[in-house]
Chains A and B, each alone.
Chain A
Amino acid sequence: MTPNNIVNMAALIGLDAIAVSDHNTVGNVGAVVKAGEKAGVTVIPAMEVETAEEIHVLTLYPSLESAEYAGNEVYKHLPEIKNRSDIFGEQLLMDENDEVIGREEKLLISSTSLSVNMLFDLVKESGGLFIPAHVDRHSYSVLTNLGFIPDDLPIAWIEISKRVTDLDAYFNSRPELRGYRVLRNSDAHYLMDISEREASLSSSVEDIFDFRRKR
């Protein structure tokens, strides 16, 4: 995936907005935002952060600056382990023309030393949205690792993976999740996984950040 093939595939499918959320980094977000401007696709700066409890949290930001602020903090909380490209692949940094402009040497797949609560505070401070990712899954999910969502986290949104096809049946099995705003997405790791126009917002992209504290 490159900045341009992502946004052009999104444009071809007819998506109005996408979020780009690499694991523990925003290193390529700026390039995708710029490529998106050319292609006419709104790109929401984002990052999937792995907390100290090995929970994946999707974080969305109202601007590139706020995403970069959070990204810097997350980077500081990654362990000093070098990437082994023979095992994990290369961690390339690209510009808006898909030119490789660098390589991230620190291993990004690690978990950060930020606890869920610390990450929640960081995202809030950045003006972003904190969305526990794929809560229905058995790995890296807040419900698996912590049993339930801690009551001291005023979370508004959760992400339920596309594996759950019957949301109502899922809520019947986890009634305590009713009342959260639910994000559905493709979690595309390859171009072919980018979804059709299936999910929509009833408001503009800017508006989702105004609702962040509301249930």
Chain B
Amino acid sequence: MKLSELIKRLDLKLLTKSDFEDREITGGYCGDLLSWVMGKAKPGNVWITIMSNVNIVAVASLTDAACILLSENMNLEREIIEKADEQDVVILRSSKPSYILAAEVFQAVEK
């Protein structure tokens, strides 16, 4: 499934300007401890988290995640969004908790 399609289907808010036209989603990963995410998230994953530290941008870029999906309407400092734009990282946001988002991403991707 294309990331653009997922954004529409789950009604996600796009925070970054990074291009994602051709991004394909391979699955998802849920986690807030970045040391774990660095070792576990796979390329093309939708990474669902509430962590709002600037290091999320580097971790998403390192793991080649399709995007960061912030749950619970987590707020981000503007500098973090700017950094994501620089590094071509896509950040999305939703008011839903991680549990629900994971279920929705799973349904969308695996079906």
Binding site for B on A (CB under 8 A): 53, 115-116, 143-148, 150, 152
In the complex, chain B residues whose CB is within 8 Å of the CB of A53: 51, 53
Binding site for A on B (CB under 8 A): 32-38, 51-55, 58-59
The residue of chain B having its C-beta at the shortest distance from the C-beta of A147 within the complex is B34
In the complex, chain A residues whose CB is within 8 Å of the CB of B35: 143-147
CA–CA, A213 and B58, complex, Å: 25
Minimum CB–CB distance from B98 to chain A (whole Å) comes to 16
Top 10 A-B pairs, shortest CB-CB distance: A147-B34, A146-B55, A144-B35, A147-B35, A147-B38, A146-B34, A145-B33, A146-B53, A150-B55, A147-B55
In the complex, chain B residues whose CB is within 8 Å of the CB of A152: 54
| Interface of A: prevailing SS | loop
Q: Is the CB of A148 within 8 A of B53?
A: no
Q: Indicate which residue in A115, A116, A144, A147 contacts B59 across the interface (CB closer than 8 Å).
A: A147
Q: Is the CB of A145 within 8 A of B34?
A: yes
* 22 residue pairs A–B, Cβ–Cβ below 8 Å: A115-B53, A143-B35, A144-B36, A145-B32, A145-B33, A145-B34, A145-B35, A145-B51, A146-B34, A146-B35, A146-B51, A146-B55, A147-B34, A147-B38, A147-B55, A147-B58, A147-B59, A148-B58, A150-B53, A150-B54, A150-B55, A152-B54
CA–CA, A144 and B52, complex, Å: 15
In the complex, chain A residues whose CB is within 8 Å of the CB of B58: 147-148
In the complex, chain B residues whose CB is within 8 Å of the CB of A115: 52-53
| 5 further interface pairs, Cβ-Cβ under 8 Å (given A116-B53, A147-B38, A147-B59) | A115-B52, A144-B33, A144-B36, A147-B55, A152-B54
In the complex, chain B residues whose CB is within 8 Å of the CB of A145: 32-35, 51
Q: Which of A53, A146, A147, A150 has the most CB of B within 10 A?
A: A147
In the complex, chain A residues whose CB is within 8 Å of the CB of B32: 145
In the complex, chain B residues whose CB is within 8 Å of the CB of A148: 34, 55, 58
CA–CA, A202 and B59, complex, Å: 38
